[in-house]
């Protein structure tokens, strides 16, 4: 201390005098000790961008409710089908045109059985054919026991009834022998053993008839199962299309914004051109053009990527292609605008002055600052893709039967609107709820990720 303030020239004042004159204490200028240093170390971790955004999002009641409802929709669409015993394409001959919760004659008859036995299997309740059990070996697992039997001929219009306490636990009852109260006039015992024969097929017994919660359509398909699969298709299309748009749009926009000059000019003229095309006309044409060649290609390439896309169906894949061709322009414009705006910011200039490479500027400055608007635009793209798909399916150009989408379900329902208005209700509500919640989540994300935009 003394040395530092040692007199260098005669004009210099004695440190003591300064201390006195300004009320300073020379002790304040001592080097900090280890314990003092610790007090400066941050006690609370700084809040990251995402954590901060999540905090803001959580505070937004409307968005949180929307998120919750959307998760319910996701569960309905993706977990639901495994809880319902009906498939989207399964046609139940005797269950056509049922109202919600209504049971067909056969189903009511079989349902009445539930009080009189432990479990049953009715051929009449199987999809498509009445001869669900062909000649062959079968086994049943129920209550820890195995019942194996051989059908010497096809079993039809009958019910396999299992009553554990009865003398003959496994018996065959003809549908016509079942009375309205669930008792049966006569039954034939089925001879069974404990060990199934090689290659025997399992038959799953049920103890109640699963109700058609939304009713069935004219082909005898369960509408709840169809609505679930339809919602699944719509959500998958929405999310995949949004990702396609995000990838193409952001790369295109970023190149255009970063390159600038003539490249930017040409790229933006292309965007303007696509913008002024009446897209629905081209989309309709594209759908018709792509459908057959795509189908042919899928049929030729059953393995690998062809098989994967083939499972989705030509209609859906051509919707993806449409999105990849036409719908990325909004995203490209937004990304380009962001890049242009961010590039002029002082901190980017400062980074350039400090010698940062372009890669570092993109990674550290442009991307983190643009990520908010990217997420928001992508999220709001999902409902627009769902809109487009349902619109095309409604016009009969989207998914092909028996596959369902919410749009095709609405379109099917329109044909019978005078007789069965309820058929329209479920897919329409489902579609509206999905789009509504996604819009609200998008709004919430905008407020959370980019608080400057909050109005």
* Neighbour count for residue 53 (Cβ, 10 Å): 21
Q: How far apart are CA 404 and CA 412, in angstroms?
A: 10
Q: Which is nearer to another protein, 114 or 295 (CB)?
A: 295
- The least CB distance from residue 207 to another protein, in Å, is 37
Q: How far apart are CA 107 and CA 126, in angstroms?
A: 11
- The least CB distance from residue 400 to another protein, in Å, is 15
DSSP annotation of 196 reads P
Which of 57, 147, 394, 426 binds another protein (CB under 8 A)? It is: 394
DSSP annotation of 26 reads G
Q: Which is nearer to another protein, 159 or 413 (CB)?
A: 413
Residues in the chain: 455
Task: Scan residues 432-451 and list those touching another protein (CB under 8 A).
Answer: 432, 435-436, 439-440
Distances (CA, A) of 48 to 57, 244, 350, 444: 14, 28, 23, 18
- The least CB distance from residue 228 to another protein, in Å, is 18
Q: How far apart are CA 158 and CA 180, in angstroms?
A: 15
- The least CB distance from residue 91 to another protein, in Å, is 24
Task: Scan residues 28-67 and list those touching another protein (CB under 8 A).
Answer: none
Interface with another protein includes 417 (CB under 8 A)?
yes
Q: Which is nearer to another protein, 216 or 411 (CB)?
A: 411
Interface with another protein includes 72 (CB under 8 A)?
no
Q: Which is nearer to another protein, 205 or 399 (CB)?
A: 399
Contacting range for another protein; rule: CB under 8 A; set: 118-126, 163-171, 304-312, 415-423: 415-423
Q: How far apart are CA 138 and CA 142, in angstroms?
A: 13
- The least CB distance from residue 109 to another protein, in Å, is 33
Question: Which residues are CB-contacts of 20 (< 8 A; sequence separation ≥ 6)?
Answer: none
Tokens (6 digits) for 444: 């919430």
Task: Scan residues 237-296 and list those touching another protein (CB under 8 A).
Answer: 268, 271-273, 275-282, 284-286, 288-289, 292-293
Which of 378, 390, 405, 408 binds another protein (CB under 8 A)? It is: 390
Per rule CB under 8 A, count of chain residues that contact another protein = 43
DSSP annotation of 215 reads -
- Residue among 145, 227, 231, 140 nearest 190 (CA): 140
Q: Which is nearer to another protein, 369 or 408 (CB)?
A: 408
Q: At what angle do helices 223-259 and 314-326 cross, to 10 degrees?
A: 30
Q: At what angle do helices 261-275 and 223-259 cross, to 10 degrees?
A: 150
Q: How far apart are CA 249 and CA 317, in angstroms?
A: 19
Q: Which is nearer to another protein, 209 or 329 (CB)?
A: 329
Q: Where does this chain bind another protein (CB under 8 A)? A: 268, 271-273, 275-282, 284-286, 288-289, 292-293, 333, 383, 387, 390-391, 394-395, 407, 410-411, 413-414, 417-418, 421, 424, 428, 431-432, 435-436, 439-440, 455
């Amino acid at each position: 201390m003394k040395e530092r303030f040692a007199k260098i020239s005669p004009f210099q004042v004695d440190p003591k005098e300064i201390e006195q004159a300004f009320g300073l204490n020379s002790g304040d200028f001592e080097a900090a000790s280890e314990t003092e240093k610790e007090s400066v170390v941050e006690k609370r971790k700084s809040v990251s961008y995402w954590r901060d955004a999540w905090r803001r999002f959580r505070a937004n009641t409307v968005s949180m409710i929307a998120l919750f409802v959307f998760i319910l929709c996701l569960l309905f669409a993706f977990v639901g089908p495994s809880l319902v015993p009906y498939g989207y394409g399964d046609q139940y001959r005797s269950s056509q045109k049922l109202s919600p919760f209504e049971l067909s004659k056969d189903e009511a008859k079989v349902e009445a059985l539930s009080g009189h036995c432990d479990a049953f299997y009715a051929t009449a309740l199987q999809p498509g054919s009445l001869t669900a059990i062909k000649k062959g070996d079968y086994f049943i697992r129920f209550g820890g026991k195995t019942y194996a039997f051989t059908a010497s001929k096809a079993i039809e219009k009958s019910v396999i009834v299992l009553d554990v306490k009865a003398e003959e636990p496994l018996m065959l009852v003809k549908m016509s022998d079942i009375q309205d109260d669930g008792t049966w006039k006569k039954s034939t015992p089925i001879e069974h053993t404990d060990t199934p024969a090689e290659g025997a097929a399992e038959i799953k017994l049920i103890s109640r008839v699963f109700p058609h919660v939304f009713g069935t359509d004219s082909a005898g398909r369960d509408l709840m199962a169809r609505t679930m699969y339809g919602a699944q298709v719509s959500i998958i299309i929405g999310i995949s299309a949004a990702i396609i748009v995000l990838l193409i749009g952001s790369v295109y926009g970023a190149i255009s914004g970063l390159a600038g000059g003539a490249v930017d000019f040409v790229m933006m003229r292309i965007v303007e051109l696509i913008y002024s095309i009446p897209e629905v006309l081209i989309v309709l044409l594209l759908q018709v053009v792509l459908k057959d060649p795509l189908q042919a290609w899928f049929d030729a390439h059953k393995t690998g990527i062809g098989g994967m896309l083939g499972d989705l169906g030509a209609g859906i894949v051509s919707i993806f292609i449409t999105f990849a061709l036409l719908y990325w322009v909004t995203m490209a414009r937004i990304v380009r605008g962001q890049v242009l705006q961010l590039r002029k910011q002082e901190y980017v200039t400062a980074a350039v002055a400090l010698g940062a490479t372009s890669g570092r500027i993109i990674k550290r400055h442009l991307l983190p600052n643009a990520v908010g608007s990217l997420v928001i635009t992508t999220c709001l793209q999902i409902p627009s893709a769902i809109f487009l798909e349902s619109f095309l399916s409604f016009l009969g150009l989207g998914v092909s039967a028996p596959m369902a989408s919410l749009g095709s379900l609405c379109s099917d329902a329109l044909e019978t609107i005078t007789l069965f208005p309820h058929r329209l209700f479920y897919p329409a509500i489902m579609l509206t709820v999905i789009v509504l919640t996604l819009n609200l989540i998008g709004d919430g994300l905008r407020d959370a990720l980019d608080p400057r935009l909050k109005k």
